[in-house]
């Protein structure tokens, strides 16, 4: 492994570690952005349609290089692709076609729908409010069909805009404190999030959405990488300012949230990163005016890393997340074997996906639920999940209509492959209430909540652990979406009343925080293709 030298001093390292370790920032952001019936009643916010942000970042002075439009058929079953990772190989380098495939199936426009005021461009992964605040950038060496450079993915034109010519991978390697996957990656995709694009609707809560929406996108990206035989690793430990500077983004508006190192080569060619000059490129304004929500910028600053040493120190050593001692009764999952499971390929399933807008009350089978849970939770390759297979979130379920499973509340013991029943009963009305009074979770077959014990997570990872826990939930939630659609079921992400969710699952869930929710069932309108 080649590790780039860095200049940070020990004194600076300790000072900045203290910032990320002052955990009041994450706790106060989390508490301030909880939904409750009272917070919803008190919120006077309404949507200013005349000021709706543009859903794309556009550099008007740069011509996009078109990406190949043909979707390569990998034929790899979606239920395999979401569960597995490609093994490390001596040489595994994506070509331009593979790059196009990765971008299209994670952030490309897959559907358009006209409505009285305009048109919505739906993208490959689910995103809160269809506001698509996640932008993708590429940092690569020379690839077949693509010269070394820094590029922005222009989703609207399905092309790449070159921001910098040349190989800047050493800048990322340095920023990550010599992360192994980055040191061996022919290509790293950088995911940034734009505050205003999502805060227009969701205000301060948008920082949570960064993790969710980046996560669902990464679920697709990781699955497609696996299907293409590309090793992939999510990297969240990096010096924020260094990566933002490489992209020349304005961190008051747009910030780097995650990196994904893709492919595997013996080592980066030797070299160091020179000084980065600002690009000063014009971008189209998103709206006539933007409203600032400082709480999110404060949360971001308090979870930023400032030196490569700090980034290196940050990754790994995931705290064990233990569930309270077992009380039962228990139900063993009935996971379909590779031979039994539906084999619809990942690209077909991604194109089929679209959040359910209505569920029928009809049942799903225990095998369908089991397969989905099992396949979605076999581990995410990420720098904050070590040993491999570690998981920050725990899954709690409200079962309404699963054949062979009594209706009620459950907790999922991943390592045992079992569901533990916490209470039996018909909780459709409770589920509807918990998700802000929406009908979707009341009508679904099962609602899957992600809960996390933030205390040990923040203790280990500092405020940045809050980014990691939201991102992991988004990735697992995105995998559940794909696991549902692979079995011709429907799914939708949902938002929730934080403390009421914990109360519902308590005493088992006492002390935890509600992070994410996805509902699964039979869609009233089913789309096959």
Residue 129 or 456 with smaller CB distance to ligand FMN: 129
Residue closest to 105 by CA, chosen among 210, 222, 264: 222
8 A C-beta contact, residue 460 and residue 318: yes
Residue owning tokens 């992600």: 450
Rounded Cα distance, 165 and 23, in Å: 40
DSSP for residue 164: E
Taking the complex as a whole, the smallest distance from the CB of residue 69 to ligand FMN amounts, in Å, to 20
Residue 16 or 355 with smaller CB distance to ligand FMN: 355
Taking the complex as a whole, the smallest distance from the CB of residue 520 to ligand FMN amounts, in Å, to 13
Residue 462 or 493 with smaller CB distance to ligand FMN: 493
Strand partners, 521: 490
Backbone angles phi, psi at 481, to 5 degrees: -50, -50
Taking the complex as a whole, the smallest distance from the CB of residue 206 to ligand FMN amounts, in Å, to 12
Neighbours of 129 (CB within 10 A): 15
Name the token pair of 266: 């013996």
Taking the complex as a whole, the smallest distance from the CB of residue 208 to ligand FMN amounts, in Å, to 9
Residue owning tokens 């409203």: 291
Rounded Cα distance, 220 and 483, in Å: 11
Q: Under the rule (CB under 6 A), what is the footprint of ligand FMN?
A: 122, 126-130, 212, 216, 354-355, 438, 440, 492-495
Taking the complex as a whole, the smallest distance from the CB of residue 126 to ligand FMN amounts, in Å, to 3
Taking the complex as a whole, the smallest distance from the CB of residue 448 to ligand FMN amounts, in Å, to 12
Residue 440 or 469 with smaller CB distance to ligand FMN: 440
Residue 179 or 344 with smaller CB distance to ligand FMN: 344
How far, CA to CA in Å, does 370 sit from each of 124, 246, 328, 354?
A: 25, 43, 18, 22
Taking the complex as a whole, the smallest distance from the CB of residue 391 to ligand FMN amounts, in Å, to 18
Taking the complex as a whole, the smallest distance from the CB of residue 123 to ligand FMN amounts, in Å, to 7
8 A C-beta contact, residue 158 and residue 263: no
Residue 258 or 492 with smaller CB distance to ligand FMN: 492
Residue 122 or 330 with smaller CB distance to ligand FMN: 122
Residue 314 or 504 with smaller CB distance to ligand FMN: 504
Backbone angles phi, psi at 435, to 5 degrees: -100, 50
Taking the complex as a whole, the smallest distance from the CB of residue 474 to ligand FMN amounts, in Å, to 7
Q: Which residues contact 487 (CB under 8 A, 6 or more apart)?
A: 79, 342, 368, 371, 372
Neighbours of 17 (CB within 10 A): 18
Residue 405 or 434 with smaller CB distance to ligand FMN: 434
Burial pattern 421-433, b for ≥16 Cβ within 10 A else e, equals: bbeeeebbebbbb
Q: Positive or negative, the Cα torsion across 160, 162, 168, 173?
A: negative
Residue nearest to ligand FMN (CB): 493
Residue 172 or 199 with smaller CB distance to ligand FMN: 199
8 A C-beta contact, residue 321 and residue 276: no
Rounded Cα distance, 21 and 463, in Å: 6
Taking the complex as a whole, the smallest distance from the CB of residue 400 to ligand FMN amounts, in Å, to 17
Residue 151 or 212 with smaller CB distance to ligand FMN: 212
Neighbours of 133 (CB within 10 A): 28
Taking the complex as a whole, the smallest distance from the CB of residue 268 to ligand FMN amounts, in Å, to 35
If you write DSSP's letter for every residue of 407-443 in order, what string do you get? SEEEEEETTTTEEEEEEES--HHHHHHHTTT-SHHHH
Residue closest to 223 by CA, chosen among 370, 346, 56, 64: 346
Rounded Cα distance, 214 and 223, in Å: 14
Residue 153 or 359 with smaller CB distance to ligand FMN: 359
Taking the complex as a whole, the smallest distance from the CB of residue 133 to ligand FMN amounts, in Å, to 12
Backbone angles phi, psi at 9, to 5 degrees: -90, 155
């Amino acid at each position: 492994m080649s590790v780039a030298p860095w200049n940070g001093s020990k004194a600076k390292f300790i000072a900045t570690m203290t910032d990320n370790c002052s955990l009041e920032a994450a706790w106060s952001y989390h508490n301030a952005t909880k939904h409750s019936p009272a917070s919803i009643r008190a919120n006077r916010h309404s949507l200013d349609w005349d000021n709706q942000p543009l859903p794309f970042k556009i550099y008007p002075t740069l011509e996009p290089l078109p990406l190949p439009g043909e979707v390569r058929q990998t034929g790899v079953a979606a239920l395999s692709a979401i569960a597995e990772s490609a093994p490390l190989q001596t040489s595994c380098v994506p070509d331009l076609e593979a790059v196009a495939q990765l971008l299209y199936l994670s952030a490309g426009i897959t559907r358009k729908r006209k409505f009285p005021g305009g048109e919505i461009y739906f993208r490959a992964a689910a995103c809160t409010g269809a506001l698509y605040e996640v932008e993708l950038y590429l940092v690569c060496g020379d690839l077949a069909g693509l010269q070394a450079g820094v590029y922005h993915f222009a989703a609207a034109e399905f092309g790449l805009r070159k921001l910098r010519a040349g190989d800047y991978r050493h800048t990322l390697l340095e920023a990550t404190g010599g992360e192994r996957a980055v040191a061996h990656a022919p290509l790293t995709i950088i995911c940034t999030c734009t505050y205003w694009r999502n805060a227009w609707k969701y205000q301060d809560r948008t920082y949570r959405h960064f993790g969710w929406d980046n996560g669902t996108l990464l679920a697709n990206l990781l699955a497609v990488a696996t299907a293409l035989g590309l090793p992939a690793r999510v990297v969240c430990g990096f010096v924020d300012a260094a990566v933002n500077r490489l992209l020349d983004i304005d961190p008051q508006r747009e910030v780097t949230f995650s990196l994904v190192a893709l492919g595997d080569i013996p080592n980066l060619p030797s070299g160091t990163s020179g000084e980065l000059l600002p690009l000063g490129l014009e971008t189209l304004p998103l709206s006539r005016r933007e409203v600032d929500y400082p709480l999110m910028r404060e949360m971001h600053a308090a979870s930023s890393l400032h030196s490569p040493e700090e980034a290196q120190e940050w990754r790994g050593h995931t705290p064990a997340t233990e569930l309270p001692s077992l009380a039962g009764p228990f139900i063993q999952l009935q996971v379909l074997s590779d031979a039994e499971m539906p084999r619809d390929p990942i690209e077909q399933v991604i194109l089929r996906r679209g959040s359910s807008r209505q569920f029928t009350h009809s049942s799903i089978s225990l095998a369908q639920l089991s397969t989905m849970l099992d396949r979605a939770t076999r581990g995410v390759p990420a720098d904050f999940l070590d040993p491999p297979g570690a998981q920050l979130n725990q899954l709690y379920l409200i079962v309404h209509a699963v054949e062979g499973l009594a209706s009620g509340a459950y907790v999922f013991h991943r390592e045992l492959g079992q569901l533990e029943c916490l209470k039996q009963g018909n909780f459709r009305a409770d589920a509807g209430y918990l998700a802000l009074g929406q009908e979707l979770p009341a009508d679904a077959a099962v609602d899957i909540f992600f809960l996390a014990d933030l205390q040990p997570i923040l203790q280990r990872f500092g405020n940045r652990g809050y980014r990691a826990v939201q991102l992991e939930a988004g990735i697992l939630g995105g995998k559940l979406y794909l696991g549902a659609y692979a079995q011709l079921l429907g799914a939708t992400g949902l938002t929730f009343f934080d403390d009421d969710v914990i109360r519902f699952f308590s005493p088992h869930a006492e002390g935890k925080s509600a992070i994410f929710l996805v509902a699964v069932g039979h869609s009233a309108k089913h789309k096959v293709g």
